Amino acid sequence: MSIFKDLGLNQAIVDALVDLGYEKPTHIQEIAIPQIISSKSDLKAFAQTGTGKTAAFSLPIIELIDKNNKNTQAIILSPTRELAIQIARNIEEFTKYIQNLNVLAVYGGANIEDQIRGLKRGAQIVVGTPGRTVDLIKRKRLNLNSIKWLVLDEADEMLNMGFKDELDKVLEATPSTKQTLLFSATFPKEVESIAKNYMHKPVEITAGTKNVGADSVTHEYYLVNDRNRYPALKRIADINPNIYSIVFCRTRRETKDIAEKLIADGYNADALHGDLSQAQRDMVMQKFRNKNLQILVATDVAARGLDVTDLTHVINFKLPDQTENYTHRSGRTGRAGKKGISIALITNREKGKLRPIERKINKKFELKQVPNGNEICEKQLYSLIDKVHDIDINEKEIKDYLPSVYQKLEGFDREELIKRFVSLEFNQFLSYYENSNDLNGDSSKESRRSSDDSFTRFYINLGKMDDLNPAKLIGLINENLNKRDVEIGQIEILKSFSFFEIDKNYRDDVLEKLKGSEFGGRNVIVEVTTKPKTRGRSRSKRSFGGGDRNRSNRERSSNSGNRNTSRKDSGRRRRR
């Protein structure tokens, strides 16, 4: 533990780290902590998810902060309330032996008056989500004039979620003399732009290789047709009896649907999404951390801040729109020196999405075959036998019952007892997978469908030429609708125009609120368009906004937001 002492941390912090079981600093902590303590220069720090970034930026701030000054001296921004709560909780653990140092988490979905009272009492360190932080600044309840440190944690994710305007407002409210610490798992152009505009000659440190996946994670994909995604997911879970996994879905609707199906089919699963109250989210996450759940079905946003170190698998029920999000997802496994597997369930038409991800993570995906019923039954049987072999026998607790048990089983020899035991525990699996179908391949016409009828598809007269990307489009929608809970489906950015899908209940709001808005100096035109029915190279003319525009019929649509309507995979059984 003297290693942490050697980084410049005082004994009170070191003692807290000892209590928490910190044995030695991670690579990013070893580089960042002395840099922040010894220098007032701005810092750009790259580190993959799960490498200890929170301690890397919070420990030196705790070391340097003026405990006798109750003014807010450090503001830490994070993309989600879960992550904000997690960071604040970590800082409280790090400061357990330090007097007069207060930390406060501020985030949406909680009583703002309670947070205002916390600010009045004095909080030297404030951890907040961008939206709630801006709200408190506007109310003149959060004063950032005395800020010495501004931390942007998971900066790439905040931009992906459309928080650029909020980040700009917070940055503008802080003094120029502050030290800005930018931590990110990836560094897309938008993050580099923030660094360029708001940081002064930042020092750059890197723990690992920038914008690539972790070496401890292997990447696999299963090729299925769309209606077989859910049955394939179940088989992957069944071939891995000790699975401890997050299944990522693209929308809240899909997340709820898949979780409900897994629970109904007897799997130890639950969902984490934006429709849950904070109390519900906390309960689900606690169950998952305690391993009372084997499978957590979640959206990208909901899973941020979930601090779990020993996931065996991350499963992409559908690939995300942006390659950076895949890096975030896969980074949830293979942490703390352990191995992990990141799996993608894809159709033929989605194979092209793997190539940019492979370039980003600097690794190749390996094609795997969806296991058949015989393979699953064999794996489950041997897993059961291993558990029986390794079980600890509690002689004291069971000895009073053994005479009656022996009497009831009298007459059965060893071989007969084994057969009956295996049949009792295993007949359900054998029955379920009897005559099960091959789920490999993608030949179904259903795999070429567009999103379901719960979404409305829109045309917008902005594209790559206007510097539009999915994050900026989401930001444009959020800004004009003044909502952050609108379900957004497929986004397709083309050269001079784009398409996006939104919950059909907001159809009129989109048409009304985006009409007359501006983006990059251009008037925005948004119109409802039909979903593509054909693929090919033919081109057709279609009028938008009073003018003719040639439009390619080669629109790659996705099934994001679809309710999975798969048939049951040859019967039902309870998972044990």
pLDDT at 336: 65
SS3 of 149-170: EEEEECHHHHHHCCCHHHHHHH
For the record, the structure tokens of 464 come out as 């790559």
pLDDT tens track for 529-563: 876 544 433 323 322 233 333 333 333 333 333 33
Q: Where are the alpha helices (DSSP H) in 391-453?
A: 395-398, 402-408, 414-432
- 446-478 pLDDT, tens digit per residue, is 444 444 567 889 999 999 999 898 888 888 888
Place of tokens 């159709």: 347
The CATH code that applies to domain 2-207 is 3.40.50.300
Residue 172 has pLDDT above 70, yes or no: yes
pLDDT attached to residue 425:
66
CB 470 within 8 A of CB 321: yes
pLDDT tens digit sequence for 240-286: 999 999 999 988 889 999 999 999 988 999 998 877 877 788 888 88
Residue positions counted in the chain: 576
Residue 482 pLDDT > 80: no
Report pLDDT for 443.
53
Closest CA to 299 of 525, 66, 42, 80: 80
Mean pLDDT across 283-305: 84
The yes or no reply on domain 449-552 and CATH 3.40.720.10 is no
For β-strands 313-316 and 245-248, DSSP reports them as parallel
Give one DSSP letter per residue of 71-107, joined into a string: S--EEEE-SSHHHHHHHHHHHHHHTTT-TT--EEEE-
Mean pLDDT score of the chain: 82
63-67, 137-141, 436-440, 481-485: lowest mean pLDDT where? 481-485
Q: Quickly state the pLDDT bin for 218 (edges 50, 70, 90).
A: very high
Chain-centroid distance of CA 148 in Å reads 30
DSSP assignment of 309-334, as one string? Answer: S--SEEEESS--SSHHHHHHHHTTSS
Query: What pLDDT, on the 0 to 100 scale, is given for residue 545?
Result: 33
Domain ranges of the chain: 2-207, 217-372, 374-432, 449-552
Query: What is the pLDDT, as a whole number, of residue 540?
Result: 31
Q: Which of the listed CATH numbers 3.40.50.300, 3.30.70.270, 3.30.565.10, 1.10.1740.10 matches domain 217-372?
A: 3.40.50.300
Q: Tens digits of per-residue pLDDT, 363-414?
A: 999 999 999 888 888 888 888 888 888 888 888 888 888 889 888 888 888 8
Report field, pTM of the whole predicted structure over 0.85 = no
Query: Cβ(203)–Cβ(44) under 8 Å?
Result: yes
How many beta carbons lie within 10 A of that of residue 7, not counting itself? Answer: 21
Q: How far apart are CA 309 and CA 311, in angstroms?
A: 6
In sequence order, the 6+-apart residues with CB closer than 8 A to the CB of 25 are: 3, 4, 7, 33, 52, 55
Q: In the predicted model, is pLDDT for residue 311 greater than 50? A: yes
Element (H, E) at 455: strand 455-460
User: What Å distances lie between residue 576 and 266, 424, 434, 465, CA to CA?
Assistant: 7, 12, 18, 54
**pLDDT computed for residue 110 by the predictor:** 85
Mean pLDDT of 115-141: 94
Gap between the Cα atoms of 37 and 56, Å rounded: 11
Q: Which pLDDT score, from 0 to 100, does residue 391 have?
A: 85
**pLDDT in the model for residue 164:** 83
CATH fold match for the domains 217-372 and 449-552:
no
- Determine what percent of the chain is predicted with pLDDT higher than 90: 38
